[in-house]
Structure 1
Amino acid sequence: MSEVPVGRTRPGTWRRVVLRLLYAAALPVLLVVLWWFASDDSTDVYWPPLRTILKTFPDVWTGERLRGDLRPSLLRLLGGYTAAAVAGVALGTLIGSYRRVRAVCEPVLEFLRAIPPPVLVPVIMLFAGIGDGMKVAVIASGCVWPILLNTVEGVRAVDSVMTETARSYGITGVAELRALVLPAASPQIFAGLRQALSIGIILMVISEMFAASNGLGFTVVQFQRGFAIPDMWTGILVLGLLGFVLSVVFQLIERRVLGWYHGLRASSRRSP
């Protein structure tokens, strides 16, 4: 069996990477091309040609506007998402580990998660005001549920044989949590984190449409109210690009943290 020298990649690695990038870029490029030709002859004020939108883009999204609108939005998203991740993983681990706690909390959780987070915006405004705290709370209130529920199911699915084996070796309490429970539940936890990321972006925009003075949601609404339609479309493009970039970053982190899991799945697919 041939070995690959240290510091070199396998011959087929770069080919697979290039093919993966081509597959990932094929559909977005196709959609952009379709959008370009479908809107090329448009005279509708609400549906400007894509070339007009792209021409407007660098004039609208200058460095000053990115600092004044994009950065506050990212900070709010980061604050709400982090708070939801910490609370969701902590509470999910507690609820998933103890059957009695789960039996008591489950009806309340089912009731709360059925409430659409945008409906809570006026309520949260009453208690948190109209500042950044309100927007962070709105994002956290929506992001916490997929993380919490996936963590509960991940903890519940930990192999009982592995649990008993760990306890027979004296691995209990915090050590068991760190060495067995969280690693075993981490694939499902990351599934919840992935779902929460898209929810967080949506709630970030919605929260900034209420009593805000900056942010991407606020800017898009201001463009719409001022009938600056091409400018409004550039804001929508920025939101799409932001979601794409955050998704790519999340995938890189996920593959780094769950390398053992993806390697295990790949080996199981190769085995007869």
Structure 2
Amino acid sequence: MNKVLVKSGTVLTEIWLPIAVFAAWWIGSAGSTSLYFPPLPRIVAKLGEVLSTRFASDILPSLQNFGLGLGIAVLAGVAVGLALGTLPRVYNAVKPVLEFMRAIPGVAILPVALFIFGIGSDMKVAIIVFGAFWPVLLNTIDGILGVDGLVKEVARSYTIRPADYIFRILLPAASPQIIAGVRISVSLGIILIVASEYIASTEGIGYLQLQSARLFQMDVMWAALLLLGVLGYVANILFRFVEHSLLRWHRGVRGTAQGA
């Protein structure tokens, strides 16, 4: 019973402010006659229309590119981070190059991606992969390097198989930092998919928003912006469920250690 009350209190704490802001926006804008700031009820109605008529043409391509780009970035970041984390000398040798590449914003490679991949989905996926790769990579490296040296020595002394050493010791121990990197990459992926759809694109949520602004369809533009916020919030909630499931063991171990 107490756990239920605590969870209910946590949910209420998280949602009361968004509900209050939404209600204030709804009431405050109800009588708006401005071309640039239409009333929220009209924006919500237009959002429903966008979802029903342009889901396949604009929303679904954005979601597909985002999912594919983020998936590739996570897999590549964990794989390369694992390799560099287990080879500290190699990591130290390539670290200046990694820091240089990491400092380049994903949006800055748009011209290069357009030149290499053209204006299709490949270009958008490539930009997401480039931008979302670095948080996962660097957090994985830090997580692997931060594994207790005593644990590594015990694993070597017992001649544990390499696959078991990687999947049962290194990756679980580094998983809190890897998950933290993925959380950052989720936010970056949403930013980059919209940015990539602003330039030389014929589909996507970013394209929809930009085109509606050019045509002075401000209710559609605001609806697309509202949709992006909702998608980002839903993605964060889903990721929190995944994080809670994957790191359940970590919280249990930490709780046991604190209780001791």
CA contact (8 A) 1:146 1:193 kept: yes
Distance of 2:223 and 2:254 partners within structure 1: 41
Is 2:12 the partner of 1:30? no
Distance of 2:106 and 2:46 partners within structure 1: 34
Q: Which moved more, 1:48-57 or 1:203-212?
A: 48-57
Correspondent of 2:65 among 76, 85, 88: 76
Correspondent of 2:240 among 237, 242, 251: 251
Q: Secondary structure at the match of 1:46?
A: coil
Partner in structure 1 of residue 123 of structure 2: 134
The Cα of 1:180 is off from its aligned counterpart by 0.6
The sequence identity of aligned pairs, in percent, is 40
Give the counterpart letter for 2:47 in structure 1: F
The Cα of 1:41 is off from its aligned counterpart by 4.1
The Cα of 1:90 is off from its aligned counterpart by 0.7
The Cα of 1:268 is off from its aligned counterpart by 4.6
1:117-128 pair list within 5 angstroms: 117-128=106-117
Partner in structure 1 of residue 179 of structure 2: 190
The Cα of 1:57 is off from its aligned counterpart by 2.4
The CA RMSD measured in Å over matched residues stands at: 1.5
Is 2:11 the partner of 1:21? yes
The Cα of 1:43 is off from its aligned counterpart by 3.2
The Cα of 1:262 is off from its aligned counterpart by 2.0
CA contact (8 A) 2:47 2:227 kept: no
Aligned length: 260
Partner in structure 2 of residue 237 of structure 1: 226
The Cα of 1:247 is off from its aligned counterpart by 0.9
The Cα of 1:267 is off from its aligned counterpart by 4.2
Correspondent of 1:44 among 1, 14, 34: 34
Dislocated runs of 4+, deviation >3 Å = 40-43, 265-269
Is 2:142 the partner of 1:164? no
Distance of 1:193 and 1:58 partners within structure 2: 31
1:135-154 pair list within 5 angstroms: 135-154=124-143
Q: Secondary structure at the match of 2:203?
A: coil
Partner in structure 2 of residue 91 of structure 1: 80
Q: TM-score, normalised by structure 2?
A: 0.95
Distance of 1:41 and 1:268 partners within structure 2: 58
Correspondent of 2:51 among 54, 61, 85: 61
Distance of 2:144 and 2:47 partners within structure 1: 46
Distance of 2:214 and 2:156 partners within structure 1: 63
Distance of 1:50 and 1:234 partners within structure 2: 9
Distance of 2:93 and 2:5 partners within structure 1: 53
Give the counterpart letter for 1:48 in structure 2: P
Distance of 1:125 and 1:251 partners within structure 2: 34
The Cα of 1:124 is off from its aligned counterpart by 0.9
CA contact (8 A) 1:150 1:188 kept: yes
Distance of 1:94 and 1:73 partners within structure 2: 31
Q: Which moved more, 1:94-103 or 1:155-164?
A: 94-103
Q: Secondary structure at the match of 2:54?
A: helix
1:219-248 residue CA offsets vs partner (Å, 9 max, x unmatched): 111111110001110111111111111111
The Cα of 1:98 is off from its aligned counterpart by 1.1
